[in-house]
């Protein structure tokens, strides 16, 4: 009984410390926002043109040749250092004035969110001034610019992706749920909500929107498997894959959003488990895999807190088609758009520096000019993927 009371007191202390830390972070950001807005107003009042310097980050470039024999040219790409600086001047260019107008409007929304300890989605912000913002991409860029200016991450400014939610306008995290899914041998608390996947390891649960709300995480899993698509996730659930293989399975349902990438990184760091990724054998499947490992260009400034460099590519590979004797009807020819995308991916510098084996696999796909989906493995048997392909590949270490 005494031990239980002690654990409860420790949990309360942890909650209190997290709460204080969030308050301190919010106070610091509010101080920065107040200083920035005050400076802009003072500059304009004095008849001067305020200029805002925005550092630009780049986690990859297209400096490498598609030739296998060529070596990548020198580039300045980095996961933690800016490669250049963009200057926005309010009174010099109409385009700059428009961008600064948008940036300041979004900044004031962020200020209100931090002051009231509320959260809203990017889509909510767009609908506050749709005639000024014109399109969602304008708001997205402004939010990224604000994070760069304030030297923080997206979650620090209380703006979340357009996940599902029970009502619009501003909200707290208990009213928000993410479209990505998790199942398997894990349990944790998300705020006051119990997420006990471990009581039914084949049932899907929504991934937490905020890892800051996670506490008391427990797992007896041996590894984490990330699958590209919900259809594959459901195939594994129907086959009781987690029950038989003692693992955690996650799907971002296509390109992963920020909560999915943060959650995966959190699990890898906290549980110290290997992570594998299963995607279609096509350029878009690989691009999803690369987003998990290297980060996206749009959020390059935050790549270090979003990417999972340890993740391993489990499949499916171009060579799997012949190895597993799949019928020709499962094979599709690369379209001209597929080829353009694949050729663009092959020029990315990180494939030369960090993943030459991945690059070789992509070159084989381009050379053969074919692609196929994960589900093509069902041609052997409906449960071939869960009963043979994945377990054998992990057991034999056949991943790159």
Question: What is the reported pLDDT for 324?
Answer: 87
The span from the first CA to the last CA of the chain, in angstroms, equals 49
CA 208 to chain centre: 13
Question: What is the reported pLDDT for 19?
Answer: 72
Residue spans of beta strands (DSSP E) within the chain: 51-56, 84-89, 120-121, 159-160, 181-184, 186-190, 193-196, 205-206, 214-219, 224-227, 248-251, 275-278, 312-315, 332-333, 370-371
Cα distances from 334 to residues 135, 189, 327, 331, 394, in angstroms, run: 32, 45, 17, 10, 28
- Residue 165, preceding bond cis, omega within 30 degrees? no
Question: What is the reported pLDDT for 210?
Answer: 84
The residues annotated with a catalytic role in the active site are: 127
206 forms beta bridges with 181
Question: What is the reported pLDDT for 53?
Answer: 87
Q: What is the mean pLDDT of each run of 10 residues along the chain (400 residues)?
A: 54 67 90 91 85 86 54 67 82 74 92 92 92 92 93 89 45 53 94 89 91 91 96 95 96 92 95 97 96 90 91 93 84 94 93 92 94 90 93 94
Question: What is the reported pLDDT for 164?
Answer: 46
Q: Is residue 197 packed enough to be buried (19+ CB in 10 Å), middle (13-18) or exposed (0-12)?
A: buried
What span, in angstroms and rounded, lies between the C-alpha atoms of 64 and 348? 6
For the chain, the residue count is 400
Question: What is the reported pLDDT for 69?
Answer: 40
Question: What is the reported pLDDT for 176?
Answer: 47
DSSP 73: P
Question: What is the reported pLDDT for 246?
Answer: 94
Cα distances from 380 to residues 18, 327, 383, 398, in angstroms, run: 50, 9, 8, 20
382, 385, 389, 395 alpha-carbon torsion, rounded to 10° = -130
Report yes or no: 85 and 54 within 8 Å, Cβ to Cβ.
yes
What pTM did the predictor assign? 0.85
Question: What is the reported pLDDT for 393?
Answer: 95
Report yes or no: 238 and 232 within 8 Å, Cβ to Cβ.
no
């Amino acid at each position: 009984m005494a031990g239980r009371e002690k654990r409860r007191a420790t949990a309360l202390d942890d909650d209190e410390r997290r709460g204080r830390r969030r308050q301190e972070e919010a106070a610091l950001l509010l101080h920065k926002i107040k200083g920035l807005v005050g400076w802009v107003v003072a500059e304009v009042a004095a008849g001067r043109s305020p200029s805002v310097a925005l550092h630009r980050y780049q986690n990859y470039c297209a400096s490498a040749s598609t030739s296998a024999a060529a070596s990548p040219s020198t580039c300045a790409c980095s996961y933690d250092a800016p490669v250049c600086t963009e200057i926005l001047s309010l009174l010099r260019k109409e385009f700059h004035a428009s961008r600064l107008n948008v940036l300041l409007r979004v900044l004031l929304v962020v200020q209100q969110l931090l002051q009231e300890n509320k959260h809203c989605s990017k889509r909510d912000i767009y609908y506050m001034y749709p005639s000024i913002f014109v399109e969602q991409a304008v708001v997205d860029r402004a939010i990224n610019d604000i994070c760069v200016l304030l030297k923080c991450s997206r979650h620090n400014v209380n703006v979340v992706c357009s996940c599902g939610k029970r009502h619009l306008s501003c909200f707290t995290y208990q009213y928000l749920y993410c479209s990505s899914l998790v199942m398997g041998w894990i349990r944790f608390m998300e705020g006051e909500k119990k997420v006990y996947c471990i009581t039914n390891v084949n049932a899907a649960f929504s991934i937490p929107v905020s890892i800051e709300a996670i506490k008391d995480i427990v797992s007896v899993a041996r590894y984490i498997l990330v699958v590209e698509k919900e259809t594959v996730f459901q195939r594994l659930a129907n086959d009781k894959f987690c029950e038989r293989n003692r693992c955690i399975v996650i799907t971002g349902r296509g390109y992963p959003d920020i909560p999915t990438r943060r959650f995966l990184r959190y699990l890898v760091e906290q549980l110290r488990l290997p992570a594998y990724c299963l995607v279609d054998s096509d350029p878009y499947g690989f691009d999803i895999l690369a987003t998990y490992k290297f980060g996206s260009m749009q959020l390059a400034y935050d790549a270090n807190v979003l990417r999972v460099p340890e993740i391993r590519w489990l499949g499916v590979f171009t060579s799997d088609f012949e190895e597993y004797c799949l019928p020709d009807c499962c094979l599709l020819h690369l379209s001209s758009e597929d080829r353009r995308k694949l050729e663009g991916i092959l020029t990315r510098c990180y494939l030369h520096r960090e993943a030459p084996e991945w690059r070789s696999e992509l070159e084989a796909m381009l050379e053969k000019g074919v692609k196929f989906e994960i589900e093509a493995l069902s041609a052997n048997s409906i449960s071939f993927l869960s009963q043979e392909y994945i377990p054998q590949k992990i057991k034999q270490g056949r991943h790159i």
